[in-house]
Structure 1
C-alpha cells in the first residue's frame, strides 16, 4: 500500500509530533511493507533525507503536492494540516487524521480571523475517513468520537542501562523545550526548596528555548549555581544517557500537554517520574509515578524530597513502571495506526466538495 504522511514539522527537528511521524513512517515501511512518502513544510539537507528508509518531500509546490496525493492509496495527517488539505478536494483519497495538539489553548482570546480558521479546521477534521487522537483528553477537545491511540516511545533508543538501585536519588532530570508552558521555573524553585530542607539536588536540564536566559538567571538567584546543568538540545541516545544518570525525571508542565511522551521515555530509562496532573499526562502515566498539581511549588518540593529520602515513596513511584513502558512499545502504536490506515482504505470515503 502507498501511504503519504503529511507532517507540518518533521525531522531533523525533535519535537513530539516530528518524532512520531518518523516512528510511523519507519513502522509502516519496515513492519507492514508500505511505500511511504512523508510530505512536510520544513527544510533539511538532502544528505539527511538519504539516511531515512522512506522518501521525503519537503516544501512541496502545488503540483508536487497534488502528485503526492495522486500517488497515494491513503493520506495520513499526523495532526491536521490545513495547508495541505486542499489537495484532497482536487484529488480525492481516503484519509486518516490523528490529532496531537489542541485546537485552542484555554484562556487565550481568539481574534475574528482565528475563530473562522478554527471553525474551518473543526469541520475539516470531521470529514476525515478515520479520525484519531493521541489521548482521551485530545478526543474531548475536538468534540469526542475519535479513535484513541496513545503515543509510543522510541524503544530502540530509550532503555535502562544503569540499575535503579545504583543511582543517586538526588539527581533529577528535565527533558523538553525551555518554554513558559513547561513550568521549569516551578521545578527550579522546588529544587531550591528541597535544598533548604538539607537535601541538595542536582538538576539536569536538557533542551533549548526562549526561556533559557531567564532560567539561568533564576537558578543563580535561587542559589543553585553548580547544581543545575544546562545541556542544550541533545540527540536521543545522549538523552538516554542523561536519564540513566538520574533517578527522577520531572515534567512540571503548566500548559496543556495532550499526552506527554517524555514520561514514557524517562520510565523506559529507569527513572521515577513526577509530573503535572494536566491534559493527557495522567493517561500516559496510567496510575504510575507521582502526579502534582501544575504550578504547585510546595507539592513538587514535597514529592522530590520524598523520592530522595523515603525508600517506600521511591519504590511506590516505580510500581507498575515496567508494565506501563511495555504497553507503549513502538510496535503497539504502529500496528494500531496501520489498522486504521487499512480501515480507511477499505472504507474508501474521501473528501468531496460541499
Structure 2
C-alpha cells in the first residue's frame, strides 16, 4: 500500500501531533508499506528517516505524489493540504487529535469548514470524546506511547507519593494540585509532590506553595527526559493530571502507567480513555473531589495495587505496533 501523509508540522518541529505522525509513518514502513510524507517544516539538520520526507514541495510535486498514493492521510484537518484532492480523487483519511473549536467552545468559519470536510473523509479519532465532537462518523483508535522509553524499573524503590509531568501553564491545573496538597495537610496527610516540567506559571506556583506553607512538600524538578525522567516516574506512586481544559487524549497518562504509576486525572475530554482502568478521574477543576481521591488512595495503598494489576492489558492496546495495525486495517479496507 502506498500511503501519502500530509503533516504541515514535522521534525524538527516538536509536538504531540508531530510525534504521532512520525510514529505512524515509522510503523507503516516497518510493516511493509510505502510511505511518503509532505511537510511545510524546513529541515535544520541531516536526520534520515526510513520513509521519504518532502519538505515545502511545489504544486507539481504535490500533484505527482497524490497521483502516486493509494491513501491520502492527514494529521488533523489541514485546509491548505486538501486542494490536490480537487484534481485527483484519492481516499482521504483524517486522524483527529484535537478539537476544532476555540477555548471558549465557539467556532470560527475555518473550524466550521473543517467540520464539513469530515463528511468527505474516513475519520479516525484518538478518543471517544473527539469522535463525538465531529459531525461525521469516526472510528476510535487511541494514541500510542513510546514503550521503548517508558517502562517499569523494578530496581527503583517507589518511595515518593505524587508526581505531575507537563508544561506549567494555566490549562494544566497544577494550581489545583497544590491547593489539594494544602487541603490534605489539614486532613493530616503531608505527601510530597514532584513537579516535572517548566513554563510561564512556575513563579506563580512557587508563590502559591509558599503562601499555603507547603514549600517543603513541593519539589520543582524542572525538565527531565528519557532515562532520568523514567527513573523519576518509577519512584512515584501516583501521577496526577489535573487539566482544567478537556484534553483530547493524554499520552502522559500512558507514560505514567507504563512506569508503574496509578493515574488520577480530570475526566473531561479524552483523558479518561488514556487512563482506562488504571486510575481514577474527577470533574475538571473540582479540588474537593481531587483531594478526596488522593486521600483515599494514600490511606488505602492496597487500591494502588489493584489499579497497577490492570496496566499490562491496558497498555497492550497502546503500543506503536498495535495502534499502527488498527490504522492499517482501516486503510486496507479503503483500497
User: Is residue 2:98 matched to residue 1:101?
Assistant: yes
1:126 is paired with a residue of what secondary structure? helix
User: Is residue 2:139 matched to residue 1:140?
Assistant: no
**Separation (CA, whole Å) in 2 of partners of 1:39 and 1:171:** 44
Q: Which residue of 2 aligns with 1:167?
A: 158
Structure with bigger RCO (C-alpha 8 Å, 6+ apart): 1
Q: Which residue of 1 aligns with 2:254?
A: 264
**Separation (CA, whole Å) in 2 of partners of 1:194 and 1:8:** 45
**Separation (CA, whole Å) in 2 of partners of 1:308 and 1:229:** 19
Q: 1:273·1:289 contact (CA, 8 Å) conserved in 2?
A: yes
Q: Which residue of 1 aligns with 2:85?
A: 88
- The verdict on how the C-alpha distance between 1:67 and 1:187 changes in structure 2, with shifts beyond 3 A counting, is farther
Provide Cα deviations, 1:216-269, integer angstroms capped at 9, x if missing partner: 332333334354333444434443222112111111111111222221111111
TM-fit CA distance, 1:211: 2.6
**Separation (CA, whole Å) in 1 of partners of 2:313 and 2:199:** 33
**Separation (CA, whole Å) in 2 of partners of 1:245 and 1:44:** 38
Q: 2:149·2:227 contact (CA, 8 Å) conserved in 1?
A: yes
1:36 is paired with a residue of what secondary structure? strand
TM-fit CA distance, 1:330: 1.8
- The verdict on how the C-alpha distance between 1:4 and 1:182 changes in structure 2, with shifts beyond 3 A counting, is same
Q: Which residue of 1 aligns with 2:200?
A: 210
Equivalent residues, number: 335
**Separation (CA, whole Å) in 1 of partners of 2:226 and 2:316:** 19
Q: Tell me the TM-score normalized by structure 2.
A: 0.90
Q: Which residue of 2 aligns with 1:349?
A: none
Q: 2:173·2:242 contact (CA, 8 Å) conserved in 1?
A: yes
User: Is residue 2:332 matched to residue 1:339?
Assistant: no
- The verdict on how the C-alpha distance between 1:238 and 1:33 changes in structure 2, with shifts beyond 3 A counting, is farther
Query: Quick one: which of 106, 113, 116 aligns to 1:120?
Result: 113
Q: Which range moved further: 268-277 or 97-106?
A: 97-106
Q: Tell me the TM-score normalized by structure 1.
A: 0.85
Give the gaps of 5 or more residues in structure 2: none
Query: Quick one: which of 54, 59, 74 aligns to 1:57?
Result: 54
Q: 2:119·2:135 contact (CA, 8 Å) conserved in 1?
A: no
Q: 1:5·1:38 contact (CA, 8 Å) conserved in 2?
A: yes
User: Is residue 2:288 matched to residue 1:295?
Assistant: no
- The verdict on how the C-alpha distance between 1:156 and 1:290 changes in structure 2, with shifts beyond 3 A counting, is same
**Separation (CA, whole Å) in 1 of partners of 2:147 and 2:42:** 27
TM-fit CA distance, 1:319: 4.3
**Separation (CA, whole Å) in 2 of partners of 1:229 and 1:257:** 25
Q: 1:65·1:84 contact (CA, 8 Å) conserved in 2?
A: no
TM-fit CA distance, 1:163: 6.1
**Separation (CA, whole Å) in 2 of partners of 1:66 and 1:226:** 60
